[in-house]
Chains A and B, each alone.
Chain A
Amino acid sequence: MSEQVVVIGIGNRYRRDDGSALLVLEALAGRLPIAIPVVDSDGDPTRLIDSWTGADLAVVVETVRSGKPPGTVAVVDDDALLGASEESGRSQGSHGLGLLEAIALGTAVGRLPRRLRVVGIEPEDLGWGDHVTDAVARGIEPAAALVLDLVHAADGRSLSRAPAYAGQP
């Protein structure tokens, strides 16, 4: 039986590079198996949880600030993700409800996907505007290719060793 996979992009297309994940979804149009739902999200944790409940694999594309050059595309390390999520649930560390809170809340109510992979895109400018920066624009296609790799890996290969770093523009 094939796996239930969902692809989710989180962002705001009017906050410049924060819209990068939504551009990745556009770049994926027609390239994913038709049975795979593609969800455009503003980061609302409850809708995120609804989107991935019951999935074997959720691939989430999200703006991630890690200090790497703008446009860098990477699969967020699982340990770092869970650590940050626990931190956001434990401390007063986060002032925005988003992916980390969705993971923490999903954990608390037992509604996480069986496997979660987060493809991060390093932003340069999160100010108001409807265009991503050039550096981030160059990261869109590598991010889309990475999502496809992760989805196709779900067809049989183990995802336990997903690439931790997938290129830099």
Chain B
Amino acid sequence: MTHTNGASRTLSVASLARVEGEGSMHVVVRDGQVHDVQLRIFEPPRFFEAFLRGRAFGELPDITARICGICPVAYQMSACQAIEDACGVDVPAPVRALRRLLYCGEWIESHALHIYLLHAPDFLGYESSIHLAHDHRDIVERGLKLKKVGNDILNVLGGRAIHPVNVRVGGFYRAPAKEEFDTLAERLRWARDAAVETAQWVSGFEFPDLELEGDLVALHSDSEYAINDGRIASTSGLDIAVGEFPEHFAEEHVAHSTALHGHLRDGGTYTLGPISRYNLNHDQLPEMAKQVASDIGLGPTCRNPFKSIMIRAVEVVFACDEALRIIASYERPPAPSAQVTVRAGTGHGCTEAPRGSLYHRYTIDAQGVIADAVIVPPTSQNQPSIELGLRSFVQDRLDLDDAELTRQCEQAIRNYDPCISCATHFLDLTVDRG
């Protein structure tokens, strides 16, 4: 629906969803040049930062898991890691491996959702995954089944499919017996094959030309493709401990959005997510995933954000393969959790949510009560980069009408898999053409 209001045109969408106003975009054009692009993305963590103050740290896994239905594990893991940092807890290797397995489940689930139900329809010219399913039911069914395997990992290890209840600061309440993973391994072998087929499928899409500007930032570990352990690295050479995050990254208020925007303290724009992980950590991918990447035409570096759908597919291959590796070598640890002795202090946590690095910082008192909470989600950190990319993207497409421009901008924004991308058609676009 288009409303005309003076010099600007507004596209609005009807409200059938439970929650309104998830995303909007305002483009200002003057004399044929894109003067400004402002993206407004709704951001839940601000509420949770206030909500968590005064609560016991033991409540963190349950509460933070509910910030996002798609990435509850990411919120739990960054929160637990921050408290463990504050209390000086060393989580034993077998428990770390279980956490990595849980995280693999979330990557599989989130990436499969994004690839099949959100992004692929954009590339193939379908209005939604429902239309895609009408024409290609077998493909959508493969996506649903693949996603469910990720779900299954969360079920077995997390205790339930959403908002896992088995996670605690220090590890888990209960470590599964080895045989509980038996049927999971079978499904994961199918999923790994399906992920390879997914990678081949998406590599046949057409990718508009676009080059990401600025730094790419992700966790990095020399010994593995980083998920929930590592240092924060960038393509321009940044290499810092997670606890140094506040010295290098800043969040700032901008007038047009309630969400905070992330910047490097030197003023630079940066991008998080699969594309950053891939560029920084390609060498750490297992050979099988590297081979799949190569087979579908991905070199060790890639800066076209539209190709992030290929990288997501490679990460699903990796996550299935990694989950199988962890399960194969799994022995039930003597204790499911490290001992946590509370002490006053501040701790930092950063892990790789499916859509990019998720940073948490908590200050607790000697009783373990949270005095301060800071949650910096990947979507707000990516916002300046999304806006920057959209400027040149929109500039090249000013001749499009508002409907087509909206559609293409949605596709471009979905490259970053923002939290609002659960919305099939989320964008209220205003183009002020002067």
Interface pair A104/B130, CB less than 8 Å apart: yes
Interface pair A96/B131, CB less than 8 Å apart: no
A56 at the binding interface (Cβ < 8 Å): no
B137 at the binding interface (Cβ < 8 Å): yes
Query: From residue B17, how far is it (CB to closest CB) to chain A in Å?
Result: 3
Query: From residue B60, how far is it (CB to closest CB) to chain A in Å?
Result: 14
Query: From residue B290, how far is it (CB to closest CB) to chain A in Å?
Result: 29
Query: From residue B294, how far is it (CB to closest CB) to chain A in Å?
Result: 30
List residues of B (151-190) whose CB comes within 8 Å of A's CBs: 151, 161-163
Indicate whether A46 sits within 8 Å of B148 (C-beta atoms), given known contacts A94-B424, A97-B423: yes
A95 at the binding interface (Cβ < 8 Å): yes
**One of A1-9, A81-89, A152-160 contacting the partner:** A81-89
**One of A37-45, A139-147, A161-169 contacting the partner:** A37-45
A34 at the binding interface (Cβ < 8 Å): no
Interface pair A89/B144, CB less than 8 Å apart: no
Minimum CB distance partner of B134 in chain A: A108
A12 at the binding interface (Cβ < 8 Å): yes
A100 at the binding interface (Cβ < 8 Å): yes
**A-facing mask of B54-97, CB < 8 A → 1, else 0?**
00000000000010011000000000000000000000000000
Interface pair B16/A87, CB less than 8 Å apart: yes
Tell me the complex Cα distance, A96–B128, Å: 12
The number of chain A residues touching the other chain, given as a range, is 35 or more
Tell me the complex Cα distance, A160–B424, Å: 32
A49 at the binding interface (Cβ < 8 Å): yes
A13 at the binding interface (Cβ < 8 Å): yes
**Which residues of B sit under 8 angstroms from A138, Cβ to Cβ?**
none
List residues of B (86-136) whose CB comes within 8 Å of A's CBs: 113, 117, 127-131, 133-134
Query: From residue A69, how far is it (CB to closest CB) to chain B in Å?
Result: 18
Interface pair B137/A101, CB less than 8 Å apart: no
Query: From residue A21, how far is it (CB to closest CB) to chain B in Å?
Result: 10
- What are 10 contact pairs spanning A and B, CB under 8 A? A14-B44, A15-B18, A44-B69, A46-B113, A49-B144, A91-B14, A96-B16, A96-B422, A101-B128, A108-B140
Chain B residues close to A by CB (< 8 Å): 13-20, 22-23, 44, 47-48, 51, 66, 69-70, 113, 117, 127-131, 133-134, 137, 140-141, 144, 147-148, 151, 161-163, 422-427
In order of increasing CB-CB distance, the 6 nearest A-B pairs are A96-B17, A42-B69, A108-B133, A89-B130, A128-B47, A92-B425
With A94-B13, A130-B51 given, name 11 new contacts (CB 8 A).
Answer: A14-B44, A42-B163, A43-B69, A46-B117, A46-B144, A46-B147, A94-B424, A98-B17, A98-B18, A101-B424, A105-B117
